[in-house]
Structure 1
Amino acid sequence: MRGSSRLRCGAGTLGLMVLAGAGAQLPPPRVTTADSLPPPVVAAADYLLMLEDEPLALRAQGRPGFWRQDGDRRRLDPASAEARAWLDRLARGQTSLLHDVAARIGRQPRVLDRYDHALDGLSLVLSPSEAARLSGLQGLWRLQRLTSRPLATDAGPAWIGAPALWDGSALGRPAGSLGQGIVIGVIDTGINARHPSFAAIDGLGQVLENPRGTYLGWCNPAHPMHNRLTAGGCNAKLIGQWSHLRASMNPADENGHGSHTAGTAAGNRLLGAVFGRTLPMARDLSGVAPLANLVAYDACEGSLCAEAATLAAIEQAVRDGVDVINYSITIGDASPWASAQDLAFLGARAAGISVAVAAGNAGPGPASLSSIAPWLTTVGNASHDRAFVAELNQASGGGSTLGAMQGQALTAAYGPAALLPAAGRINRLGAIDDGRCLEPFPPGSFGGAILLCERGGNGRLEKGDNVLAGGAGGMLLINGPDDGASLNSDAQALPALHLGEREGLALKAWLALGSGHRLAISRSEVSLASDRGDRLAPGSSRGPARYRACCLHPELPIPFPAELDLLKPDLAAPGTDILAAQANGMSAFVPEFGLLSGSSMASPHLAGGAALLLALRPDWTPAEIQSALQLTARPLRDAEGRAVTALEGGAGGIDLAAAARAGLVLDASIAAFLAAEPETGGRPSALNLAGLVDAGCPGRCAWSRMLRSTEAVSRTWSLRIEGPDALRIDARPTRFTIGPGASQALTVTASWDGPASSVAGWRFGSLYLRPEGGASPELRLPLALRLQAATLPRPIFLTVDRESGSRRIDGLEAPLALAPEVEVQGLIQASPIEARVAQSPRGADPFRVLTGTWSTTLTVPADRARLSVRIAESASRDPDLWVGRDDNGDGLPQLGELACASASPEIGERCDLVAPEPGPWWLLVQNGRAAGVEDRVVLEVALPGPAAAGNLSAALTRDPSLPDADAWRLQLAWSLPGLQPGDRWQGALRLVDPTGPSPNLGIVSVELLGVERAATATPRPSPRAEPSRPPSPTTLPPATASAGVPTPSPSAPSPSAAPARAVLPWLGQRNRP
């Protein structure tokens, strides 16, 4: 049994937890006899049943009998006697659990997969009612419904320093490595197996070798599906293919994403690869580790990847013994210690596998990451130095002069031709375009003119297709404020040019005066400029590492937002305009190559880099490889040239040549990762990682790190520190000498030495380690801490069975407060808002696809402590909730305005926002699984504050039972006459220090739920809220508004007025069919 390493929600109850982690619902009643069960419902889904034993990779930790030596590397050996015995035990446990499941639900369930290397579990097809009845089943640790996750070089390898590892110059060796002997597993959309990027002989005539000596998966002639593969689809380069899809059962790539990521990581060296659409161009290209071998795991259909398939792929990759995994797929916002995907990857890390994952493309907003597990290397999207540049020129007409402008695109020359704005034009759906070219235009609309389109709302290539459909001869794509000067060298379907925000404003101003506007687009040229590289893309997801923690109440799985003391993303790599292989039929040229952008393209750069480092440094662990990359990373800037913080781009841009020479590295054990879980009292900041992060530092914080020398001789190192003047950073020792392979402890403290009134907020610094002689570069540990005047309790959720009472709440620390006080806001009851929502298309973007969505607008008055929204009732089996502030005042929900997304695959969605900014907000509901033609959904909205309602009081006293003199005890008392079971009362506590230098300490949410009184007279024990570190305290303006709950805008247009278009053009409250 795993004991304390297992993760529990609340007081050890199982509950129905979902991977998306956003929702909450009361646990269903337990049914203990099979003959009392109703017939299964037809709405079956995939469920993961995780057992309590350790999977093989975790069991093997610290047990030599599970491992074998392979040259300089130690590999997990599933064939060892110890491993076989453990696998037999896991098989017996799974068979026993499966028998118990069948007895509980009254039938034999369909088994999709069994997991025993990365996880101990089974995936089954069950109905929701059947899954509910498994709660409390002996041996079952966790039950999770599986959903689907979206998918998240010629110049790239050179930019990150790969050639210096290829030829050995990075380490001063006569020969280096191009990845020989290393196997990279790519979990994605499959692979274009006949592409020359994956052939057995590369473009330089190099014959590849299969280091395993056998073929894996469908490539193995003994596999029953081997005959389904295209002849020649497996070779000494592509040594394995698997399909984990139930529908197609074919690992061939029909999307192009998997071929592109595989080619980026390990594609062959090729000469004269031809690509482009309006302008064919040839480039030499190579993957980062061009002589590494590949295994392709097909786990995605279209742009969605079913978690049942991705878990099976992770498990199989561990069984196959790959060395590196690339995972350009989103993971979600659950705690890493509660996410099946994250835990499976922990098993992969335990087996010695380095895992690179995409950060996501939801930037530039904070806390937009899709992967935050400390055992994964999360990679953001940055630029390299190559671009295809072209000019806008030969401008004429109008009321002023317009000079030439440079932009980016892979384009043929076009023009001069008339320039027309897309804004105001009628698209094919009969709607007026808002300037973003969101839908195709009717044929013959533009007569060969050049159309001006604005970025946003849909894909850049989709815009080109839309204007081409209307008969445009060319397109100018201009950025808005969100993207600034960030450009892409797209190969559009027609001549086109991408311009920055500044150029776009000048174009619009010129177009607004006079008439007869004409201009031309020049032919693209290749441009290499070092200043263009290491620019973090605006769309790359940023930190901090926020997740949905569990739980506010020991009996109810209600999550709340929390942050991990981790540096995320870890690094950035080239992900913009990456040239690599694509699927058959995706290009006018054969073989197919294409340019793609996103963190999906950045992740395989790191995966290939890890393969090279492993080939040259076979004794390094995955943690040491990651630390070497972080310690030697280059500084990043944004598209405007501003320095990027550690929360935005992690340690920086990867530099393989420097990483290979890192004289010190850091290692982190699997036991340490398990022990770091915050919900069981662990501290992620204590992990031996390169980032020094504290998301809630109450004035002073500290870290300890253990460094290991990688050099063959003794070396002396000295420390230097950079940071804001008021941030006092101290490190010990300041100078040390370390022998070959020896370890050195390092202690770092940081404290605020500036005005206490300015304590709140993130501060950044760096700790540099400089070697005295030797080949190692100077190393850098990035530091990021959020100072706050107080550490607050987690949000308070109480179930109460009487009209009045009191509870004690612990967890408040206020070291910089002289006399903290508490101001009560609320309690109030929420106002219901009823919606009727049709079925949404599968995987539809709620910000573009109108079908199956509903919205309303509301106004948040000043000084409101909370905006609480939850789906209280729903006929839909999967309604999702989205909440955002209407920053531009147009009444339209837009992704860039999103403040909260609650999108689990079940019901019970909720968003709870502390100190919402006053002004207009919108609520959006999407119906993921309709029960009828149109489902009734009831939202409850509450805006407690600014005044107390007289039904809740709070008192603060110092806690004499705790050794910390800064700890305080909070006593809550409520009086709710007529309280009934199911009643919900919402409020907030505003912590202030009127006499101190930092008056606003923060806000704590309060929610009381009425429940049935217990049958016995024994008083219910008082739950004590565990300490946590929520988002930083928010400074509030003086209270001026009165309490109340908003109502939807009364000026809602009729449902029939909603045009069918890819934005959300409604104000107030509206249904869309």
Structure 2
Amino acid sequence: MSRKKHWVAVATLIALAAVAGASTLQFRSGPDASGNRATAAGQATGAVAAAAVGQGGAVAARPAVRPDAGRDDGGTYVVVLREPALGAYRGEVAGLPAPPRRADARGKLRLDSRGAAARNYVGYLRTRQQQLEGEIAVRIGRPLAVRERMQHAVNAIVTDLGGGEADRIRALPEVLLVEEYREYVLDTDTGPGLIGADALWDGSAPGADAAWQGEGVVFGILDSGINFGSPSFAAEDPVDGYVHVNPLGAGNHLGSCAAGDVDEGRCNDKLVAGYDFVCGPPANLCGQPNIREEPGFGDSNGHGTHVASTAAGNRRDDVFRGNPVSISGVAPRANIVAFDICYTNTATGQGLCPNVSAVAAVDQAIADGIVDVINYSIGGGSQPWSEVVSLAFLGAVDAGIYVATSAGNSGPGPNTMGHLEPWVSSTAASQHGRGAFSVLLQVTGPEPVPEPLSPVLLNEGSNGVAHDATIPGTTPLRVSDGYDGDTDACAALPAGSFDGAIAVVRRGGCAFSIKVNNADAAGAVAVVIANNADGGLIPSVPGTAIPAFGVTQADGDALRDFARAHADATAMIGFPAVPLPNTVDALGAFSSRGPAGNFDLLKPDVTAPGVSILAADAGTTITGFEQLLGLKNGTSMASPHQAGAAGLLRQARPGWTMPEIKSALAMTADQTVLLEDEVTPADPFARGAGRIRVDLAINAGLVMDENAGNYLAANPAEGGDPSALNQPSLASGRCFEGCEFIRTFRNPTSRAQVWRPRLEGLQGRVTPASLKVPAGGSRSVRVTIDSRALPADGSWHFGTVVLEPAGGLLRDPLPVLRLPVAVSVPPPAIALPDLVTASIAQGQNGSVDVTVGNAGGSTLEFSVDNTGSATLQVADVKRGAVTSGYRSTLYTDPGADPPGAFASDDFVLASQTRIGSLFTEGFVSSGGALATVAQAITWSIYPDAAGMPAGDPQTSPGAAVWSHTATPGAPGVDTTGNHIGLELEAAGQDVVLPAGRYWLVVHTHATLANRWVWFAAPSGSGSFMVITPGADGTGTWSPVSSFAGLSMTVSGTVECGASWLGPVTPPMGRLAPGASRPLRMALGGAGLTPGTYGGNLCVASNDPVTPKAAAPVRLTVTP
């Protein structure tokens, strides 16, 4: 299929209305009496029923989710229905008025989730869900076992389905979206001060009329649980003695803290509620292999505790690695609800978060009616309008809950962003001036000591004996005799060989603990383990009795060389650890970068501290680690800084909407952020608007609002335009010759204001030149970008819209507001027919019309050139609006059964073709970046065998006519956006195939949680194939006809022209974007006998991707 066929917009997905929720105390969206928690009577009457079974009691009664089933065997799915959930409801059903939105006791505007209108509509939705469940049961021929029902964040059910059943349900008119079970990856010291929180704490921020520390604000932490015994979450602040006020009333709690439930006694007036959606429904995962998770919301991972402490933890004065430290959450007097939605995979150590658990948690947050801010430091969100968790976040925002997310830890490459939802705010991670706490090893003699050894930075090992005292400078420094081998210190060392010494050994061949214990048995007082590859090393050494440290390969080799040259070498290992300085506002190299896929959005939204963040932590059990502090890196640590700042604004400016809070944080951000080299200024795709300054945001003189209807209408798959959203940024990837944006601002102050807008960094203008906004009123500006001087190559260019206050009208000076701008001029893209057919009589001449088009975004200049060779688009099928796909991964999990699942689609070659490139669209189920979660990628082309591939990658890989395996970063491999591309020449592959039908299989080598899913497509040959071979080798390819094909592009090289192809009129031309025109090609029949002939019409152009394209021509000569 040629790119010509992309001009028609495919709209198969109707956008879901924004959603919100309601519940009374101790009520929840969710299971009914058949295993779910709302009674059947409650559903019939429309009332919300009390929980009949506590979370702890429901675990054993329900099976675990089925993430490991193949496509044919099925798995767990979320089925989202079209009728709007509570928050999106606007009274469309006769007799059911919409629930109002009211200010709570502290003036915060939120959905009335506990009134009669909310209860009645929720009851209506439950009845409708049961009716549809009956229809589904008839359609699939069996009763439907429902794990969970949700009516607040989304109108959805969670159930187990076979793959074919899911496809049949997807076709129902009442169904909006069917999403397979997937798992997303888990992605303060000086941090709060850097973002300006301390100025709100003491009331010194410009425009502040009080001091705000989060009183009355409730944070929903969706994560791995919480270390409920930590002083960071005590009812009384350990430092200033503040006694927290429970918004539910003293001693009242929600969720699993209820009397008789698993977390009874673990809540207090700061930690007011908790839920377990991992051991409890809908996941029910406890007791499964390789899962570390306990019933209740306790934390045995540490991620959730650290995040909660950073956002809203109490003040604490403590000691960390021998250093006195003071830490605090950004909003230290706020309350917390812990939503446990993640577990630890003990085989990999990775934190994983089921989508079904996340969406249930968001639904519950809305139903409870007390949460003000959600923090979600977890992956996902790359498809905002077609991921159920993303849609749930839209429901939360519409209900009056701010959602802060991490940007992802897949940087610094482009297009690695997670959380592209325009209704949430994603956070990049930067340094904050204090880096890691490092132990210093100082070689003390003999003199002279080389400069690299004075000192050496050590990383203290984990899970072993703490280093709590200086090892004196007279201590011998000795290196292992086996240091240069691959198994150093894996066997017993000579007795006394390290008596009283610091032992230096090398990584490799066995566990770190074995090396340490062998050195200990030989007399060592401490062990330094050198890495055997580039990078740092933090050795885990459980079961050891002496301090252990990691060191880089280079430093280890330097220690080896010195110790071997000096038998009397000595060294000191200091205590306490030394806090190392770093450059403020330099991005972490891991921080993910834009652009935002193919969406006209600017992401990330903002930057916050996320490198070497010190906060409360948790151990591997839910008790015994109450005093633990931890130092962590990641955008997971940056997001709670933003969440905390949003909470302070929620308290200080209760009348602002969630988009207005987001805009205030973005427009007042500090743009002086640097790249990870600590020198180069970061562009908006790296920093967003900049590092947040909540002390300025509180005094923002203008804010920007948006509504859920517009967010949904912006879905590009439905013809929407995300660039038209009223965002505090401007982005367009289709800025041919110029583009325009309109942005609307509200004056939240009590006096009229005058602003002077201007455009910096790009050619263009902002009108009007002077903007007067009345008190409480709104006015718009038009931003016009002149892109005629920009290269038409798809590169991005940046600028800033600046709004400067004219001044003088308010007591406190207003901050200058800035909106980042990103524009790109797309290149032209030639489009030719898939096949040109013509017929002439023997001995006669004729002609045929061929359409050439421009599917790109700039003017196409073309000319016919039937010499040499050209690129032929053998297949070019895009997914359009399709959001479903089929697994294609060989699982790397030990003992995985089935070992993998694969998908395949076919293509036909009309003549001998050299394959040049392959491209397939897909996504990683966990939301992680393919470049980091896949060990390898394999491409295979199989010959056709009676309408299916002649083999498969697991049981018969040798049947392929060609196969290639490479790592994601190998030459010729492109994994941008989690799609998979291969340029064969760059990869060193030369594949020439004769005419015929072939099958392409592309699969990753990754864990089940990080499986790659190949997008289906609305066009193609009509069907494709899937297979899930068993561990015993059984299994056959099965056709799938739910979609017409899989998304794939196959390009090849063919010879141009044919003896019977004549002149083309006109031979050249120009086409505007989206335009097309016919060319008339002469055909000469002289000397041709009756039969069929093949050739190629070739057209050269300024398309940078395909400078010379071919269209196959099939000529039939009749007698």
Q: From 747, 764, 784, give the equivalent of 2:798.
A: 764
> Could you say which residue in structure 1 is the equivalent of 2:737?
699
- Counterpart in the other structure of 1:1000: 1104
**Alpha carbons 2:276, 2:340 under 8 Å: kept:** yes
Question: Could you tell me how far 1:632 is from its partner in structure 2?
Answer: 1.5
Q: Is 1:893–2:992 an aligned residue pair?
A: no
- Alignment match, 2:307: 261
- 1:925 Cα deviation after fit: 3.4
2:821 to 758, 770, 783: 783
1:426 aligned residue:
486
**Alpha-carbon separation, structure 1, partners of 2:1003 and 2:1076:** 36
1:394 corresponds to 2:443: yes
In structure 2, what is the equivalent of residue 907 of structure 1? none
The match for 2:431 is: 383
Q: 1:353 aligns with which of 388, 391, 401?
A: 401
Change (3 A) 1:128 1:468: farther
What secondary structure, in the 3-state scheme, does the structure 2 residue paired with 1:606 have? helix
Residue in 2 that maps onto 1:613? 649
Q: CA RMSD in A?
A: 5.2
Q: What percentage of aligned pairs have identical amino acids?
A: 30
Please say if residues 181 and 356 of structure 2, whose CA atoms lie closer than 8 Å, have aligned partners that are also in contact: yes
| Cα deviation digits, residues 445-473 of structure 1 (max 9, x gap) | 9965345779xxx9xxx997797577471
Q: CA deviation at 1:393?
A: 3.9
Write the deviation string for residues 713-732 of structure 1: whole angstroms up to 9, x where unpaired.
22322234432xxx413222
CA contact (8 A) 2:861 2:1101 kept: no
Q: Is 1:290 matched up with 2:397?
A: no
Task: Indicate the structure (1 or 2) with the bigger Cα radius of gyration.
Answer: 2
Kept after mapping to 2: 8 A contact 1:496/1:521: no
- Structure 1 position 532, deviation (Å): 2.0
Which residue number corresponds to residue 378 of structure 2? 329
1:675 aligns with 2:713: yes
SS of 1:944 mapped into structure 2: strand
Q: Size of the alignment, in residue pairs?
A: 875
CA distance in 1, matches of 2:1066, 2:749: 55
Q: Secondary structure at the match of 1:666?
A: coil
Query: 1:934 deviation in Å?
Result: 5.2
Aligned match of 2:148 in 91, 113, 135?
A: 113
> Which amino acid letter does the alignment assign opposite residue 623 of structure 1?
P
**TM-aligned CA deviation for residue 378 of structure 1:** 0.8
State whether structure 2 residue 138 is matched by structure 1 residue 103: yes
Q: Secondary structure at the match of 2:133?
A: helix
Query: Structure 1 residues 772 and 806, CA, compared in 2 at 3 Å: closer, same or farther?
Result: same
Within 5 Å, which residues of 2 pair with 1:897-908?
Answer: 899=973
The residue number in structure 1 matching 2:1005 is 925
Cα displacement string for residues 768-803 of structure 1 (whole angstroms, at most 9, x for unaligned residues): 22223342222211111223343777x999999x9x
Kindly tell me: are residues 395 and 118 of structure 1, through their superposed partners in 2, closer, same or farther at Cα, counting changes over 3 Å? Answer: same
Match of 2:893 among 841, 852, 855: 841
Aligned to 1:217: 254
Q: Distance in 1 between matches of 2:770 and 2:1067?
A: 42
Q: Which amino acid aligns with 1:95?
A: Q
Task: Return the letter of the residue paired with 1:841.
Answer: D
- The TM-score, its normalising length taken from structure 1, stands at 0.70
Is 1:159 matched with 2:194? yes
Deviations 1:939-977 (A, max 9, x none): 9999734445779999999999x9x955422779999xx
- Name the residue aligned to 2:632: 596
Secondary structure of the structure 1 residue equivalent to 2:385: coil
Offset of residue 95 of structure 1: 0.7
Report the counterpart of residue 592 of structure 2 in structure 1: 541
The answer for the alignment partner of 1:238 in structure 2 is 271
Deviations 1:500-525 (A, max 9, x none): xxxx8788689789953866654455
| Structure 1 position 449 matched with structure 2 position 487 | no
Query: 1:44-83, aligned counterparts within 5 Å?
Result: 44-60=74-90, 65-70=99-104, 71-83=106-118
Note if contact 1:958-1:968 (Cα within 8 Å) is conserved in structure 2.
no
Which region of structure 1 is more displaced relative to structure 2, 132-141 or 397-406? 397-406
- State the Cα distance separating 1:284 from its structure 2 match: 1.8
Looking at structure 1, the residues matched to 950 and 299 of structure 2 have their Cα atoms a distance apart, in angstroms, of 38
On the 8 A contact 2:80/2:154 being kept in 1, the answer is yes
Whether 1:372 and 2:405 are equivalent positions in the alignment is no
Q: Is the 8 A contact 2:585 2:691 kept in 1?
A: yes
Letter aligned with residue 653 of structure 2: R
Kindly state the Cα deviation for residue 360 of structure 1 after the two structures are TM-superposed: 1.4
Give 2:171's aligned residue: 136
1:506-545 equivalences under 5 Å are 515-516=564-565, 521-523=573-575, 526-527=578-579, 532-545=583-596
Q: In the aligned structure 2, how far is the partner of 1:571 from the partner of 1:147?
A: 27
Measured after TM superposition, the shift of residue 689 of structure 1 is 0.8
Q: Does the CA-based 8 Å contact 2:736-2:788 persist in structure 1?
A: no
**What residue is the counterpart of 2:362 in the other structure?**
314
Tell me which residue corresponds to 2:923: none
Distance 1:870 1:370, change over 3 A: farther
Residue deviations 1:75-116 (CA, integer Å, cap 9, x gap):
211333433332233122101111112222333222111111
1:243 deviation in Å?
0.9
CA distance in structure 2 between the partners assigned to 1:78 and 1:877 by the alignment: 53
- Secondary structure of the residue that 1:665 maps to in structure 2? coil
Q: Is 1:162–1:609's contact at 8 Å kept on the other side of the alignment?
A: yes
Distance 2:330 2:951 in 1: 47
Question: 1:347 deviation in Å?
Answer: 0.8
For 1:542, the aligned partner's letter is: R
> Residue 615 of structure 1 aligns to a residue in which SS?
helix
Question: CA offset at residue 290 of structure 1?
Answer: 0.8
Aligned partner letter, 2:336: L
Unaligned runs of 5+ in 1: 1-7, 15-39, 429-439, 547-562, 831-835, 855-860, 881-889, 905-909, 976-984, 994-998, 1009-1073
Give the match for residue 911 of structure 1: 980
Structure 1's 827 and 897: CA in aligned 2 closer, same or farther, altered over 3 A?
closer
Q: Once the two structures are superposed, what CA deviation does each residue of 1:830-865 show, in whole Å capped at 9, x if it has no partner?
A: 9xxxxx997532799xxxx9x9899xxxxxx99945
- The AA in structure 2 aligned to 1:968 is A
TM-score (norm 2): 0.68
Q: How many angstroms does 1:622 deviate by?
A: 1.1
Letter of the structure 1 residue corresponding to residue 83 of structure 2: D
Q: CA deviation at 1:675?
A: 0.9
Contact 1:160–1:655, Cα closer than 8 Å, also in 2: yes
User: Which residue of structure 2 lines up, in the alignment, with residue 417 of structure 1?
Assistant: 477
**Paired letter, 2:583:** R
Unpaired stretches in structure 2, ≥5 consecutive residues = 1-7, 15-69, 279-283, 287-294, 345-350, 462-466, 520-525, 840-846, 877-887, 903-912, 921-938, 943-947, 956-963, 991-1001, 1009-1027, 1038-1045, 1084-1093, 1113-1119
Listed one character per residue, the Cα deviations across residues 848-887 of structure 1 (whole Å, up to 9, x for unaligned) are x9x9899xxxxxx99945556578889999999xxxxxxx
CA distance in 2, matches of 1:328, 1:807: 53
Relative to structure 1, the CA distance from residue 444 to residue 345 in structure 2 (aligned partners, 3 Å threshold; closer, same or farther) is farther
Shift of residue 211 of structure 1? 1.6
Matching residue of 1:684? 722
Q: Is 2:626 the partner of 1:583?
A: no
CA shift in 2, pair 1:74/1:807, >3 Å: farther
Per-residue CA distance 1:26-81 (angstroms, 9 max, x = gap): xxxxxxxxxxxxxx999452111111101111124998742223142222113334
1:1000 to partner: Cα distance: 2.8
Corresponding position of 2:36: none
1:552 matched to which residue of 2? none
Distance 2:270 2:260 in 1: 19
Offset, 1:577:
1.6
In structure 2, distance between residues paired with 1:421 and 1:159: 49
**2:699 is the counterpart of 1:661:** yes
Q: CA–CA distance in 1 between the matches of 2:425 and 2:245?
A: 28
Deviations 1:141-198 (A, max 9, x none): 3222122222112222122211111111114546311111111101111112122111
Q: Does 1:192 align with 2:241?
A: no
